[in-house]
Amino acid sequence: MKRIILSITILLLQIHAVSLHAQSIAKNYKADNNNNPISASVFCADPTALDYNGRLYVYGSNDHQQFIKNNKKDGNGYGDIKSLVVLSTDDMVNWTFHGTIDVQKICSKWTGNPWYKGFMNSWAPSVTWRTTEDGKEEFFLYFANTSHGVGVLKADSPVGPWTSPLNHSMINRDTPGVLPCSWIFDPGVVIDENGTGWISFGGGDPNEKGNTLQPNNALFAKLDASMTALDGKPARIPAPYHFEASELNIMNGKFVYTYCSSWAERKDAEWNAYKQEQNIKIGKPNTCTMCYMVSDDPMNPDSWEYKGVCGKHPGFPSPNNHSHLHKFQGNYYYLYHWAPLMKSMQDGKAIDSSCDGYRSICVNMATVDEETQKISSVNQNLTGVTAIKNLNPYDLQQAETTANSGGVMYEDYKNIEKDTKINTLGNDASRNLQVAMKPGAWTMVRNADFGEEGAQSFKFTAQGTGTLEIRLDKKTAEPAATIDFFSTSMEEHDTNIDPTPFKGVHDVYFVFTAAEKVQFDAWQFSAEQTTGIQQVVPTQSSDSKLYDLSGRRINNNTSKGIVIEQTTDVNGKKQSRKIIR
């Protein structure tokens, strides 16, 4: 009976698939050959990053939360952004979406009296991590609690679960030495070679002690040993035309402070006087540009030297500017936000024309001289960066790892498990995300290296009824493999494939030409044949192995975060699932 039902279902799917194949598959709003923005389905901004175990983790303001709250129209007022987005990569072009950190829920017990100590919003994060003397790994995530303060979260892995170590904002109006400061927000954090934490913050129009050239709102402070409080009063950084978007780096023993300049008019007379006073020959920065300063004695305001512009304003339709400079695998990368995805979706009539200010994170290479701390102005473009390595299709890969996609939006990412005590979308960075695939929807990964022999079988984990076509190099290409599947629960499906097209390096498109209640979770190619489409029957498992999200074997039991657990049942069948440790 099951075989009859499956045969009928597949026949119906094939009829639907033929009909759909004659139509256009879902349109992509990130161009085929572009690597910017890093996500084709998530609006996010104000990037920060850390690298851990060979992966670069990027965190940002969750613009998509405001987008959904506004019913996918109108302007981004930021008032409903109460969570942060997490993505990661190990090759700089294929990005894994880890879900969101629900900062509002985590900080729900913050005191609301006085008002500026209670939780309001989570914007513009900055992140760092350390290993303590006893070998414990600690991750710290700082964020702007609107313009009224800075909050801090803590975790023992880059994807959480996150907790609030305090019952109020870490920095606020009551923090000694902070006032006057127009906006107490936009933290930038770094840990020096001695293990000491430092934080910069502040912004806004000139306060009562400032002026257009020197708004007096850029603050710098030492963190105490807990990393959750200031160690003494902050100092002021004399940052010309300072406005917002603080971040910190350390190069060759010196502190590098980046910030976004204001929209204020630049007067030649005041800038010429500043140049003469500072004994520099640098031209004045354009409005809303990313500037940087350097110091080897950061608590001494006179030690800071203005060095120029490291990134221009990316241009329309971005309403503002925010960047993070990060060294990863020997290269410097400049992460920033722009709004090309929103504009492309508007032009394609996919979202309302009233939409405004929904940003996307982008990344381009940066040229940095660490010895002199010189940062050349970055060339921001949609082409983005090139991959630093190929993707291994023979490792287990997550469906939420994509370089591009069509017909997939942020709210289509769902969870296998709803246990909010662990991690779920809308609560914390998720351990078991999956992607809802509609008819015509697709995802794509770049630079999958199948080798000279080629793949002979393919398996994927999914539930629902559908037809999956695997297409190579173009989303409109003829399918290199077609798999019909049916399951009422999340199961692995195996099938043999012709190895001829699956040789060498290819961009791989997973196109669901038919889909009914389909949730796509993971996939993996193999150089060995299988016996055909199979449904997983729960059996006693043994021989448990752990892998990271790149498919690399984890041999120690101290690894934290999302990992892949692979087991072999009594019949020799391998099964995989994502877990958090």
Nearest CA among 240, 144, 238, 138 for reference residue 187: 144
Stated length of the chain? 581
Q: Are strands 254-261 and 541-547 parallel, antiparallel or unpaired?
A: unpaired
Q: Which of 46, 469, 484, 492 is catalytic?
A: 46
Residue 75 gets which letter from DSSP? B
Nearest CA among 6, 4, 101, 1 for reference residue 44: 101
**491 close to 417: Cβ distance less than 8 angstroms:** no
CA-to-CA dists, residue 562 to 69, 415, 465, 549, 580, angstroms: 29, 14, 28, 7, 4
How many other C-beta atoms lie within 10 A of the C-beta of residue 12? 14
Q: How many helices (H) and strands (E) does the chain have?
A: 5, 33
> In which residue are the tokens 């709210």 written?
411
Q: Which of 102, 244, 469, 492 is catalytic?
A: 244
What would you report as the CA-atom Rg of the chain, rounded to the nearest whole angstrom? 25
Per-residue burial over 456-491, b if 16 or more Cβ lie within 10 Å, else e, is bbbbbbbbbbbbbbbbbeebebebbbbbbbbbeebb
Could you confirm whether 528 is annotated as catalytic?
no
Nearest CA among 501, 482, 503, 502 for reference residue 493: 482
Query: What does the H/E/C string look like for 114-165?
Result: CHHHCCCCCEEEEEEEEECCCCCEEEEEEEECCCECEEEEEECCCCCCCECC
Could you confirm whether 156 is annotated as catalytic?
no
Residue 429 gets which letter from DSSP? B
* Active site positions, annotated: 46, 244
